[in-house]
Amino acid sequence: MRTAQLTRTTKETDIRLTLSLEGGGVDVHTGIGFFDHMLTAFAFYGGLGLELYVQGDLEVDGHHTVEDVGIVLGQAMKEALGDRKGIRRFASAFIPMDEALCFTALDFSNRPFLVFDAEMPQPMIGAYDSCLTEEFMRAFAVNSGLTLHMKCYYGKNAHHITEALFKSLGVAVKEAVQITGTGVTSTKGVL
């Protein structure tokens, strides 16, 4: 089973996370309703099992919670992938949501990088700062060893844009982590 179970406690957040690349239940509690919704969508469309419980310093704002979840989820993804033997590795997905159209391309290359091109028309989505989507994606990419490119082609509603980004990430991750062979998908022989 490709799974990981991690905890991370700092002065800002206390996180408990269980991840399964083989699927399972999804139960997310971060204290930020919209972020819970996005992580649930990501896990659902990614075919992932995800249990996540977070106590964060939300009296400050959501930044530490969102970024630290990206760190821990990225670390869990890296652990669950192991030596990455047999995975498809590359994937991409376009996802429309009402007036918004977003795209994700990724490579589980073990060379982390983020290109994020998605302007957010509104600064807040409920209690969620829309600028935190980029912070989450950066933390997730860096800690999972993921080359991640994300783009919003157009959209007028920050909720729709953000949701299309999280869903496209999930769809692409689901395809990229599929076992399609026995060796490492690299001409170098190692990722």
Does an H or E element contain 116, and which?
strand 113-117
pTM over 0.85: yes
Per-residue model confidence as pLDDT tens digits over 57-95: 999 999 999 999 999 999 999 999 999 999 999 999 999
Per-residue model confidence as pLDDT tens digits over 24-40: 999 999 999 999 999 99
CA-based end-to-end distance of the chain: 20
Closest alpha carbon to 95 in 159, 164, 170: 164
Closest alpha carbon to 158 in 13, 7, 38, 27: 38
Per-residue model confidence as pLDDT tens digits over 106-123: 999 999 999 999 999 999
Q: Are 20 and 80 in contact (CB under 8 A)?
A: yes
Look up the CATH superfamily of 3-176: Imidazole glycerol phosphate dehydratase; domain 1 (3.30.230.40)
Per-residue model confidence as pLDDT tens digits over 2-28: 999 999 999 999 999 999 999 999 999
User: Is 129 a residue whose pLDDT tops 80?
Assistant: yes
Which distant-in-sequence residues (6+ apart) come within 8 Å of 48 by Cβ? 19, 20, 21, 23, 24, 26, 42, 170, 173, 174
pLDDT value at residue 112: 98
User: Is 187 a residue whose pLDDT tops 80?
Assistant: no
